[in-house]
Amino acid sequence: MDVKSAFLNRFIEKEVYVRQPPSFESAKFPDRIKQGPEATFVHQAKYTRDILKKFDMGDSKPMTTPMSTNTALDADEDGEVVDQKEFRGIIGSLLYQTATRPDIQFAVCLCAHYQASPRTSHHQAVKRIFRYLKFTPELGLWYSSEGSQMLHADCRIDRKSTSGTCQLLGTFLVSWSSRKQTSVSLSTTEAEYIATASCCSQLLWMKATLSDFGLRFGRISLLVDSTSAISVAKNPILHSRAKHIHVRFHFLRDHYEKGDIDLVYVVTQNQLADIFTKPLEFNAFVRLRGELGLLQVEGVDNALIKGEIESQWIGLIALLV
């Protein structure tokens, strides 16, 4: 029965039971959002400890990154099969964690590809993520009241066509993604162009949403580390490496010509979205993580924290409005 539709359109005679999601049950655990007059800090420290305990990783050895740079996950058809139900439970718990932990987004999404037939190598990969969470249980997103309201985005793609994007309001991260492209690309230029178009669509949606709250934006900067993708978007002439690209992706060029977005080249070393496309070595990982606004809860000035609220998202919404 569609309870939502029935409730909206007619009286229902059956009892409907509602249960609050994890970490929302009690006001005794005000560790999801710390909100003060000068900043908002969003984290899931208690949830992190809970899932570590749930999957027997509470006493595991901490690791400094969620995935080794030497990791090369594949279907591993010759590997030993592990419990599919348990593996899916782990992935589900970690995906919930990514709501406030963009630093594990790539690793979790990569492991999620193998839920249909998980092997020992995949299980070892998710255990590595748990060990990283053990090392950084109180890491969270920091939103200061100070800063500009400039909307911009970063877009990156790796050699295996994994698109990584992040959208920022000023210096504050508000949206991010790491996903495998659904279409097969014949060249890196095509893959990069498709990823940039996907990021552009998210930017335009955010621009329209924020306009409802009175925030107006002119030309939005989209930072891309691919000169070839920028050239295709700016050049209306079809050439051999772009003539086969589906017309639906050319709306990127259309919005560039209209002045809605500005395609800006950024060197790969300064590309924030790099963290969403591949495993990084420790120094680069920590640098990008910090630039995205992820900080340890111990680093928050307690003088700023005047009260706690229950909702895990209201602080982010308050930032947007």
Tokens of 131: 């060990």
Query: What single string gives the DSSP state of each residue in 43-66?
Result: E-HHHHHHHHHHTT-TTSPP-SSS
Check: CB of residue 41 under 8 Å from CB of residue 80. no
Per residue in 124-165, pLDDT (tens digit) is 999 999 999 999 998 999 887 665 556 778 777 665 678 899
User: Which residues is 41 bridged to in the sheet?
Assistant: 34, 142
Closest to 223 measured CA to CA, from 161, 173, 253, 266? 266
Mean pLDDT of 261-274: 90
Judged by average pLDDT, the poorest of 1-15, 44-58, 140-154, 222-236 is: 1-15
Q: Which domains occur in the chain, in start order?
A: 41-142 (no CATH), 147-274 (3.30.420.10)
Residue 301: the pLDDT is 42
Residue 37: what pLDDT?
64
**What pLDDT band is residue 233 in, cutting at 50, 70 and 90?**
confident
| Interstrand relation of 39-43 and 33-35 (parallel, antiparallel or unpaired) | antiparallel
Q: Which residues contact 270 (CB under 8 A, 6 or more apart)?
A: none
Digit-coded pLDDT (tens) for 295-308: 886 544 443 443 33
C-alpha 42: how far from chain center: 14
- pLDDT value at 52 more than 90: yes
Task: From residue 19, give the alpha-carbon distance in Å to each of 16, 25, 241.
Answer: 10, 9, 53
Residue 249 CB contacts under 8 Å (≥ 6 apart), including other chains: 193, 194, 197
Q: Is the pLDDT of residue 42 over 80?
A: yes
Give the pLDDT of residue 151.
73
CA distance 16 to 25: 18
pLDDT of residue 312: 33
**Assigned token pair, 293:** 């606004």
Please give the pLDDT value at position 302: 44
Q: Three-class SS of residue 187?
A: coil
Q: What is the DSSP letter of 21?
A: P
